[in-house]
Structure 1
């Protein structure tokens, strides 16, 4: 994520900020200019600060803006040009337009969960847009377009399973609860489990359908990840019954990646998004890592390095290895678990290289 600055007072901002804590300006993310902008109420609007009205950005006075409808729930801070919105309509931003089902928002607990889910999902869409990947919705592609369903458990019914099916990503909304997610992580024997991680993994399945299936890349994908035509249900049953092979770290990024080639692709895709986004954040803050030691490596960042641009995978890995080692060391200094609890073996680098080429050859 890049570093955002308040145009009104110069304070540093987080991507999720709705209000500047220094000057109290209302804030919104404007995808068209890729900036968090400080806002003032449009002079033609009478009183109040209702996000459903019209706004103008500091420094962009000629652009009349509206918030996404989900700003009314404090679940979104993205903006749309008012000229693109029908008067009296309830416009949805480039992230919220993919929602098909959200939890019952009359329940305060569900509302809190949904806000956390939206924070992670908006971060995902930011990354996908910066990689310039296609993002068809169900209107553009009724059979395979992207859609999200955030479901809550129903008493007497099996809990909803987080997963992907033909463009539809389902997330069990209980995963927004830290205690529940940590319990699931422990039961599943996972080193890492976050809402953003869920989204990055499931969108990997979506892009396997979009960028690999029915393309000339399918054979190379099978060489690296395995034959996707293997029975998926049987493979998962075997994985949960027998676990991963003892030497799985030699060829896979996670134990779950061994379950089936689709899961290996999705897990590796998620790692790629972890890497490029975190490198952007490090670069935005001017971080440099040059640890001593025979295999310490260096972090050859420059002020104009764009991890979302086209680079050989070796360049990204040369930056990532010392950066992730430093991140883990900092976390341990705070008594926390490693931020990046994964080992990137040479076969995993090759798989990451395939995804890198898959994205940038477009």
Structure 2
């Protein structure tokens, strides 16, 4: 997340709707990627979900016939807002969803809504198990469904413990499901022998393995004992699609984490910590794809900076008596998968900024 400031010079944050110094109404303009004041004569207007329900601080052009911002227009289903609890949980959902959309837009990805582009567009169903007990978080044909109850911290942490996960967050759900959406939109359309598809198969495995059977085996037997040497999470071992989704979600997490810290003035290169240095092959792409040693080196330096920073974050959390903020270990094979995820971002036109930049 980048650093935001009001016109008066006061610090603003991604969720800000009012400046605490000058009391101006503010909002986030996704077209410019900046926070702006909203005046009576402004060229921008607030999203109606912010005006009516106080759950959104994004803006859209005042001249637009639409009343919802880019992010809220992607909602296909929202909870019953007559219940106070639903409004509270939905607000948390919307914040996490906007952070995902912010990152994808920053990477340069176009995000048409499902209404505007039925084939490649994106939509969200936010559904409570209280209204639909069978709802599960997932993706299908451009629609990401998230269980509203996951916004309840107790519910989510119970699921985390039951599933043996080291981390479970709302933002993580959205990042993970965006990977399934992008795989279907970008990779599934490629020919079987396309280099990008062959590279996927080399790093993640054969995507044609029976998905239901693979997940059934995983939930019955768990991850292999050596999963940490090959995957970023235990769940990633369940199927190549899930390995890709966990890797992409992790890639977005690193992008956001580095941008946030570096935009706030934390100079990672000056933090001296003894770290295990990843070997050169961690930054290399599969042989069927071309890249320069300079590009590989930039990626590896970027990843090393994150490994250094995440160690600092964990030590700070420990100092505060909290669990680790980053309970992951990046193996060589996991790093190679992250390298491919970064390459996809560039090839798809998502890489509007260099790997080494904040």
The answer for the alignment partner of 1:336 in structure 2 is 322
Q: Which runs of 5+ in 1 are unaligned?
A: 43-55, 57-63, 298-309
TM-score, length basis structure 2 = 0.87
Specify which of 103, 113, 116 is matched with residue 140 of structure 1: 116
Specify which of 260, 266, 270 is matched with residue 287 of structure 1: 266
Specify which of 35, 56, 68 is matched with residue 76 of structure 1: 56
Q: Secondary structure at the match of 1:7?
A: coil
The answer for the alignment partner of 1:260 in structure 2 is 239
Deviations 1:237-296 (Å, cap 9, x if unpaired)? 100000000000001000000000000000000000000111111111110234445437
Q: Which residues in structure 2 correspond to 1:119-198 (within 5 Å)?
A: 119-154=95-130, 158-198=133-173
Specify which of 300, 303, 307 is matched with residue 314 of structure 1: 300
Conserved 8 A contact 1:75-1:115: yes
User: How big is the alpha-carbon RMSD for the aligned residues of Structure 1 and Structure 2?
Assistant: 1.8
Q: Report whether the alignment pairs 1:27 with 2:26.
A: yes
- Structure ranking higher in helix proportion: 2
Distance 1:110 1:219, change over 3 A: same
TM-score, length basis structure 1 = 0.86
Deviations 1:309-360 (Å, cap 9, x if unpaired)? x884213202111011111111111111111111111111111111111111
Q: Which runs of 5+ in 2 are unaligned?
A: 278-294, 350-358
Q: Secondary structure at the match of 2:39?
A: strand
Conserved 8 A contact 2:275-2:308: no
Distance 1:31 1:293, change over 3 A: closer
Conserved 8 A contact 2:113-2:123: yes
Number of aligned residue pairs: 325
Cα separation, 2, equivalents of 1:184 and 1:354: 30
Q: Which residues in structure 2 correspond to 1:181-220 (within 5 Å)?
A: 181-215=156-190, 216=194, 217-220=196-199
Cα separation, 1, equivalents of 2:128 and 2:272: 49
Q: Secondary structure at the match of 1:41?
A: coil
The answer for the alignment partner of 1:52 in structure 2 is none
Specify which of 103, 112, 120 is matched with residue 79 of structure 2: 103
Larger RCO, structure (CA 8 Å, separation 6 or more)? 2
Cα separation, 2, equivalents of 1:143 and 1:214: 12
Conserved 8 A contact 1:101-1:150: yes
Cα separation, 1, equivalents of 2:260 and 2:214: 37
* 1:6 CA displacement: 1.2
Cα separation, 2, equivalents of 1:141 and 1:288: 41
Specify which of 223, 227, 244 is matched with residue 202 of structure 2: 223
Deviations 1:13-60 (Å, cap 9, x if unpaired)? 110011112221111111222211123223xxxxxxxxxxxxx2xxxx
Q: Secondary structure at the match of 1:148?
A: strand
Conserved 8 A contact 1:249-1:255: yes
The answer for the alignment partner of 2:5 in structure 1 is 5
Distance 1:31 1:143, change over 3 A: closer
Distance 1:107 1:33, change over 3 A: same
Q: Report whether the alignment pairs 1:354 with 2:340.
A: yes
